[in-house]
């Protein structure tokens, strides 16, 4: 799907479900990882995660567009456009938009590295996602010195 097709779909959904025109830009943003889309407050543009469309198809895309258009139209009207606002929740249920997008489970969001750290005194092992400066920390059990014993990288 191209940017022009996305723009057309957003304008069409806006008119048919909200009875208001969408006058700004809609585009795909491949850098989005943990969200289906986002509404930009300063420019009033909407960005959509293309991976959601590729994984789940047009129905899920339209559901995400409805969600972002709720933010858009409520913000333009100076009403409660945030997720916690009653106006947002009511409008979202009226148009049948998704509260949350489906999870892209094949992509791991967390770090792929694992650090195994061992106490030199009591031999307890700690597994961490983030690297530590071992000279600044001590064992939580006995206060002994820590040393890195293994760094795994999952692929």
Active site members: 68
* Residues contacting 153, CB < 8 A, separation 6+: 112, 113, 114
Alpha-carbon gap, residue 128 to 14, rounded angstroms: 46
For residue 129, CA distances in Å to 86, 89, 112, 115, 125 come to 38, 36, 8, 6, 14
Burial of 150 from C-beta contacts in 10 A (0-12 / 13-18 / 19+): exposed
Radius of gyration of the chain (CA): 23
- 53's enclosing H/E stretch is helix 50-56
């Amino acid at each position: 799907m191209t940017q022009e097709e996305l723009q057309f779909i957003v304008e069409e959904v806006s008119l048919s479900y909200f009875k208001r025109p969408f006058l700004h830009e809609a585009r795909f943003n491949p850098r989005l990882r943990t969200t289906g889309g986002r509404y930009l407050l300063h420019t009033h543009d909407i960005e959509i995660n293309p991976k959601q469309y590729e994984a789940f198809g047009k129905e899920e895309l339209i559901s995400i567009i409805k969600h972002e258009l709720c933010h858009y139209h409520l913000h333009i009207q100076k009403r409660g456009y945030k997720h916690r606002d009653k106006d947002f929740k009511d409008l979202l249920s009226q148009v049948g938009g998704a509260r949350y997008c489906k999870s892209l489970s094949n992509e791991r969001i967390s770090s792929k590295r694992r650090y195994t750290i061992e106490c030199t005194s009591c031999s307890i092992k700690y597994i961490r996602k983030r690297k530590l400066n071992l000279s600044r920390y001590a064992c939580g059990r006995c206060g002994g010195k820590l040393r890195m014993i293994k760094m795994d990288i999952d692929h």
